[in-house]
Structure 1
Amino acid sequence: MSKQYRVDGVDCAMCATTIEKALRRNEGLETAVFNFASGTISIDPSHVDKAREVLNQVEPGAALRDESTGDKEAGSGGFNLAAIRIGLSALLFTGGLVFSSSLEGMLGGWGLFILLVPAYLLAGSHVLFGALRNILHGRVFDELFLMSIASLGAIAIGEIHEAVGVMLFYSVGEALQDRAVAKSRGSIRDMMKLRPDAARLVKGDTTEIIDPVKVKVGSVIEVRPGETIPLDGIVLEGASFVDTAALTGESVQRRVEPDSEVSAGFVNDDGRLRIKTSRPFGESSAARVLALVEEASGRKSPTEKFITRFARVYTPLVVVIAAAAALIPPLITGGPFSPWIYRALVVLVISCPCALVVSIPLGYFAGIGAASRHRILVKGAEVLDGLKDLSTLVFDKTGTLTRGEFRLWQVHPAAGFSREEVLNYAAAAESHSNHPIARSIRDARGGSDKSLRIGAYREEKGFGVSALVGGQEVLVGSGRLLAREGVPVPSGFGRAAVHVAVGGAYAGSLDLGDSIKDEAVEAVRGLRSQGIGHIMMLTGDDESRAAGIAAETGLDAFEAGLLPEEKVERLERIMLHNASGTTAFVGDGINDAPVIMRADVGIAMGGLGSDASVEAADMVIMDDKLTRIPEALGIARRTRRIVWQNILFAAGFKGIFLLLGVFGSLSMGLAVVADVGVALLAVLNSTRVLRYSAS
């Protein structure tokens, strides 16, 4: 099973791709994923030492950090050292320009080199060594190679001040870009930060503050007012109200007291609690949410994969174009080579693909972060791409459009049976079922009749239950169950929700009702406003009740009385007719997992939904609010717009500057500023997704 490790010291998207490829060439690391946007690597923990070895070979100075063992995040030492190098280089560069005449007068033609060579090495030695290291490892055409060739070429044609300017501006831009990427990552992580930094472990009459990952299951922790509960557990002492919004999105506080279950991420409001931990932090509710988000950010969209492949072809192509620009014109015209070599070097500088390769994954990661802020877990960038093309959405009914809280409205006994008998037999037969209908029947009866002995029991999804009750076979379920068992349903009972048969005779029927969720109608309207042309429902409920729900919520169509496998079949038929767009299915129960998995985009109601449906889904609505689905569509479409803005912006500006460089209208220094500026603007533009609001 893969585990997420934080990576420090890698702020280059192309470097991340290179590291991922190097890791995958090693046994046990074939499935490694480097997610540049979040700064994490997903690998098998048993091969972490090998991964560290590969990382050190490919990117010396980078570090792999396991946060679950208490490893601390790298500080700002690297940035401070870079700032010192850049500052000294800038001073020497300025001195060289100001005192160039004096130095040349005193020392001749080499006078300028006394200040500018150290300035060049201070600003660019890490670039030169990085390019050399990559060449030795067989990686020639990358950003470091382009900058090295451009600056060394400038020195070769006597433009050392241009070479220093290139390295200095590049180093400044690199530092600013690293800070911008780190800030983007930090702002996204902060929004999803459910992990408390400390736990107050009870030791006798005292407490000790330790890292939550070190707290063992069964330990007792103390949580004081205003503190976040660090681990899942059971309240032993104290009573309080807890704010669950960070985990569930629920705005109403929940009262907890002894024997109440609490989850990591809840905030204790007004009382001291002592809690016995039930799970290690890695298995807590908060960790599960964080793991889903971390895994999501590693699943790349087709656009990201294309840009990565494009960059691998683009860089060598640019080198060929630059070489042609340097050699062909002077060979044809017979003029000097120096001006054309300079133009070729400018082309190399402006051609760095960093703006594209950095901003696109950050754009998608920001989209995933914005969704999580709205209590929506989107499991990957490709899901965002699928959502933006959504044209058909299919709902399950019970627990999705409706509350899933059935109430018994009426009992219709058949001839020879009383109301009480029908209800008693039904409650007894349903005594072992966890289905919402079964619970509602037991609640209406006040439990099951203890005098009725329960024998053999069988439950079938989509049909109902059969059980030996007081020595007689009792059937409780759909008309299909009774028809299969050879029990005819009398006229007038055919439209009932639940039928009951006792000893082979029809005993009566139960009318149960389930009300729609308050926001269901608003959610459907929101989907219409997002341009979803076809909204329908697939349900196992009977046709009359399904028709009422469909009419009340404003759906286009519905199909009722479906078994789980029939839902998959109907969905495939819908998808076949919707070939031009994507189809989503929204469900919540275990029986919805197959159809959720089959949809182009599977959506699970995660607040009360089953683990199976949550695991199968591409997107999880953590607070069960249907209005989150239109919000997810809005976030997906905004993310896509911003990603394409970055692509067109970076490609367009680079195209313009390339032409200026070829025609000799752009200096090397301005080329560096333009390249860095485009990358920074693209990164900052990506973070606009985080400010998405549904209003």
Structure 2
Amino acid sequence: MSVQQKYRIQGVDCSVCAVRIQDAIAALDGVGSAQIDLLNNKMEIVTDHAIDRNLGELIADTVRKAEPGATLQSLDASTSTGSESLEKKNRLQALIVPLRIVLSLASLLAALSTSNPFALGFFLLSYLFAGYDVVYRAIRNMVRGNLFDENFLMTIATVGAFAIGEYAEAVAVMAFYQVGEYFQDLAVSRSRASISKLMDIKPVSATVIRDGAQFTLAPEELVVGDTLLVRPGEKIPVDATVLSGSSSLDTKALTGESLPRNVGPGDALISGCVNGSGVLHARATNRYIDSTVATILRLVEESGLRKAKTERFITRFAKYYTPIVVLLAAMIAVLPPLFGPDPFSMWLYRALVFLVISCPCALVISVPLGFFGGIGGLAKMGVLVKGGNYIQALARTGTIVFDKTGTLTHGRFSVTHVDIRPGMSYDAQEILMLASAVETHSTHPIAKAISEACTDTVTAAENIQEVPGRGISGSSHGKTIRVGTEVYLREVVADPFDFPTSSAGPSVVVAVDDTVVGRIRLADTTKREAIPMVGSLKKLGIVDLVMLSGDTNSSVSHTANELGIGEFYGQLLPQDKIARMEQLLEKKQTNSTVVFVGDGVNDAPVLARADVGISMGAMGSDAAVEASDIVIMTDDLSRIPAAIGHARKTVTIVTQNIVFALAIKGVVMALGAVGIATMWLAVFADTGVALLAVLNSLRALKHD
């Protein structure tokens, strides 16, 4: 059985370095894989067994050897210190880098206005102010045999410029490279801050009443059964049930809903929501680690580790791209002078221009940032995505398969009529009592509706046996009671029976011993946003809509026709739904995906089998979060086309960044190779493209 261990990793700032660390750790005995999320400074390691002290030390040593200065801290330990130290470091860098640039430019101006021999000294001083850290990292990596990264490119380009006497350009290239890096880091930090603010739902403290006294504790210290006091404006610390008091809850941070939700005694409180104007006393029903707020935070934090195919490709691409451009630059510098009349210094200058513009920063930063922003934008809508890979898959949706009950319909059944079989001595209430006796402990929506319709006191049946999706039986007062679908009752009861066809909703047949005594008809209403949702999907070009349900064919047909869904299947058992999903997956078009939308609990196998599994109305349901790839926290079906639209927007932004960066770099590379572009143009193009790509990625944070 594989074990996942998560770490905070600091001191790694390039994708090539991250790939190097991942490969080195993955090569260790007992380690299956390693994945680094640079934007969130996290690493996930999958091992064959729990990481003991020896393996832990070996992993830490491997990281230090692969990237000197990198540090690891287990996320199982307290991580606030690591996070705070990282923030302090970022704030310090935000002050130091501008100061270095100012000193560098001041020294450059002094060099340009000073005659020899002091000019060269000022040029060197200016260069060191601007890029001492870049040069240091390049030399450190070269000593360890890790040549090819952006530090190496910039060092070779600027040192080469010094070598041919282009002092001012060497200093300017390094200075403007640092300016570009500074603004890129600033944009990335703001992106992180936006998502951190978005996910600022963790309660800081909780007031608990024990033995009549009030205590202020951390949410992690609460236990199930604790009595909580939640004042106006405070966050619900853990999932709980209201004991007394009434109020309204602000659920916007979790669901994206602006309207508050009213709660009173007996209602569930979801952790992370903000209490309104009333004082509530509640009983904790979950520990913090198992509560909704902790589950959501864990999901968002881990989303960066599940990378999209494009993201993984760009990371690997950067590993091979840099050595290739260095080789091309070397060929530009060496081959033309050997076979032509032009001097070596001219072609060396062109090769240096080629190196400056070839830096892959625009790609390796903006692509993951685009997917990260897309995840944040969807989270604002109350749609939680487990990784960039699911955003990319959602954007390619070709077929959407819906569960019916609880997804397209409210899933709240009510008994509309009881059909008494001719010749039977039972009345309607007695048939409801019989059915309720075996259904009383079932959580199925139909069972709940039957129990609610029965007004008399019912004694629960014994020896309950349930056939999922078909029926249930039990014994009461010496009689065997069976309740289930017509198909199921025809199989288990020898008594032939017949009832008029009902298309308005599902129905169950009731039998006592081997005699069918009646039928209970129920109705479920379609959600009001279901029809507009289907229309929105078709506007997006998604016309392959399918409905799978365990309800009767007539009931499923009725709902499908009402919504305009052309392909539907009823009377399906759980294994039948999986079989249908397999068929749909086989029929799907190339580069398209099949999405399943369900409740996240009863449809877990189908959710797992689909290319993308979406669970609806999952607020407070850990099972839904675990079973799904995408979790929509409310029952609002309009979030489905909105999520697909935002996923497409995110992928478009990422594609724009890739095309824009490669096109500009390709043009300037060509101009540099033929002597038209200068190093000034190259550095402006490189930093400008990177900065514009990062800023474009931030658009993914905003949803339409």
Q: Does structure 2 retain, via aligned residues, the 8 Å contact 1:131–1:148?
A: yes
Offset at residue 474 of structure 1 (A):
0.9
Q: Give distance in 2, aligned partners of 1:401 and 1:534.
A: 16
The structure-2 alpha-carbon separation of the partners of 1:213 and 1:157, relative to structure 1 and needing over 3 Å to count, comes to farther
Q: State the partner residue of 2:425.
A: 417
The structure-2 alpha-carbon separation of the partners of 1:510 and 1:682, relative to structure 1 and needing over 3 Å to count, comes to same
Task: Give yes or no for the alignment of 1:2 onto 2:12.
Answer: no
Q: 2:647 aligns with which of 617, 627, 636?
A: 636
Offset at residue 205 of structure 1 (A):
9.2
Q: Give distance in 1, aligned partners of 2:463 and 2:210.
A: 50
Q: How does 1:122-201 map to 2 (within 5 A)?
A: 122-199=129-206
Q: Give distance in 1, aligned partners of 2:562 and 2:253.
A: 32
Offset at residue 14 of structure 1 (A):
3.1
Task: Give yes or no for the alignment of 1:25 onto 2:27.
Answer: yes
SS in 1 for 2:125: helix
SS in 2 for 1:492: coil
Offset at residue 7 of structure 1 (A):
4.0
Q: State the partner residue of 1:679.
A: 690
Task: Give yes or no for the alignment of 1:373 onto 2:380.
Answer: yes
Q: Does structure 1 retain, via aligned residues, the 8 Å contact 2:393–2:593?
A: yes
Task: Give yes or no for the alignment of 1:303 onto 2:310.
Answer: yes
The structure-2 alpha-carbon separation of the partners of 1:635 and 1:503, relative to structure 1 and needing over 3 Å to count, comes to same
Q: Give distance in 1, aligned partners of 2:601 and 2:240.
A: 25
Q: Does structure 1 retain, via aligned residues, the 8 Å contact 2:240–2:285?
A: yes
CA distances 1:324-362 after superposition (whole Å, capped 9, x unpaired):
111111111243211111111111111011111111111
Q: Does structure 1 retain, via aligned residues, the 8 Å contact 2:34–2:45?
A: yes
CA distances 1:270-299 after superposition (whole Å, capped 9, x unpaired):
134455545443322111112222233321
Q: Does structure 2 retain, via aligned residues, the 8 Å contact 1:431–1:448?
A: no
CA distances 1:12-40 after superposition (whole Å, capped 9, x unpaired):
33333333333333456543321123332
Q: Does structure 2 retain, via aligned residues, the 8 Å contact 1:38–1:365?
A: no
Q: Give distance in 1, aligned partners of 2:31 and 2:216.
A: 37
The structure-2 alpha-carbon separation of the partners of 1:504 and 1:278, relative to structure 1 and needing over 3 Å to count, comes to closer
TM-align CA RMSD:
2.8
Q: Give distance in 1, aligned partners of 2:11 and 2:289.
A: 25
Q: How does 1:194-209 map to 2 (within 5 A)?
A: 194-199=201-206
Q: State the partner residue of 1:382.
A: 389
Q: State the partner residue of 1:294.
A: 301
Q: 1:439 aligns with which of 425, 439, 448?
A: 448
Q: Give distance in 2, aligned partners of 1:403 and 1:314.
A: 53
SS in 1 for 2:355: helix
CA distances 1:83-120 after superposition (whole Å, capped 9, x unpaired):
4365345435434444545441xxx3xx2232222222
- Name the amino acid aligned to 1:297: G
CA distances 1:116-152 after superposition (whole Å, capped 9, x unpaired):
2222222222112211222233321111111111111
Offset at residue 160 of structure 1 (A):
2.6
Offset at residue 406 of structure 1 (A):
0.6
Q: State the partner residue of 1:602.
A: 613
Which stretch shows the higher mean deviation, 75-84 or 260-269? 75-84
Task: Give yes or no for the alignment of 1:16 onto 2:18.
Answer: yes
Q: How does 1:348-363 map to 2 (within 5 A)?
A: 348-363=355-370
Q: State the partner residue of 1:574.
A: 584
The two structures have a TM-score, normalised by structure 2, of 0.90
The structure-2 alpha-carbon separation of the partners of 1:489 and 1:407, relative to structure 1 and needing over 3 Å to count, comes to farther
Q: Give distance in 1, aligned partners of 2:436 and 2:210.
A: 48
- Name the amino acid aligned to 1:42: E
Q: Does structure 1 retain, via aligned residues, the 8 Å contact 2:244–2:264?
A: yes
Q: 2:664 aligns with which of 653, 669, 676?
A: 653
Which stretch shows the higher mean deviation, 494-503 or 94-103? 94-103
Q: Does structure 2 retain, via aligned residues, the 8 Å contact 1:89–1:120?
A: no
Q: How does 1:586-601 map to 2 (within 5 A)?
A: 586-588=597-599, 590-601=601-612
Task: Give yes or no for the alignment of 1:548 onto 2:558.
Answer: yes
Which stretch shows the higher mean deviation, 559-568 or 410-419? 410-419
Q: How does 1:62-73 map to 2 (within 5 A)?
A: 62-64=70-72, 66=75, 68-71=78-81, 72-73=83-84
Q: Does structure 1 retain, via aligned residues, the 8 Å contact 2:442–2:448?
A: yes
Q: Give distance in 2, aligned partners of 1:220 and 1:469.
A: 40
The structure-2 alpha-carbon separation of the partners of 1:492 and 1:209, relative to structure 1 and needing over 3 Å to count, comes to closer
Q: State the partner residue of 1:332.
A: 339
Task: Give yes or no for the alignment of 1:84 onto 2:86.
Answer: no
Which stretch shows the higher mean deviation, 276-285 or 131-140? 276-285
Offset at residue 254 of structure 1 (A):
3.8
Offset at residue 57 of structure 1 (A):
4.2
Q: Does structure 2 retain, via aligned residues, the 8 Å contact 1:69–1:213?
A: no
The two structures have a TM-score, normalised by structure 1, of 0.91
SS in 2 for 1:528: helix
The structure-2 alpha-carbon separation of the partners of 1:310 and 1:456, relative to structure 1 and needing over 3 Å to count, comes to same
Q: Give distance in 2, aligned partners of 1:256 and 1:410.
A: 33
Q: Give distance in 1, aligned partners of 2:273 and 2:656.
A: 39
- Name the amino acid aligned to 1:318: V
Q: Does structure 2 retain, via aligned residues, the 8 Å contact 1:238–1:257?
A: yes
Q: Does structure 1 retain, via aligned residues, the 8 Å contact 2:510–2:517?
A: yes
Offset at residue 416 of structure 1 (A):
1.8
Q: Does structure 1 retain, via aligned residues, the 8 Å contact 2:19–2:316?
A: no
The structure-2 alpha-carbon separation of the partners of 1:340 and 1:56, relative to structure 1 and needing over 3 Å to count, comes to same
Q: Give distance in 1, aligned partners of 2:61 and 2:246.
A: 51
Which stretch shows the higher mean deviation, 36-45 or 492-501? 36-45
Q: How does 1:522-541 map to 2 (within 5 A)?
A: 522-541=532-551
The structure-2 alpha-carbon separation of the partners of 1:448 and 1:12, relative to structure 1 and needing over 3 Å to count, comes to farther
Sequence identity (%): 43
- Name the amino acid aligned to 1:668: M
Which stretch shows the higher mean deviation, 493-502 or 144-153? 493-502
Structure 2: unaligned runs, 5 residues or longer: none
Q: How many residues align?
A: 686
Q: Give distance in 2, aligned partners of 1:492 and 1:234.
A: 44
Q: Does structure 2 retain, via aligned residues, the 8 Å contact 1:433–1:459?
A: no
Q: State the partner residue of 2:436.
A: 427
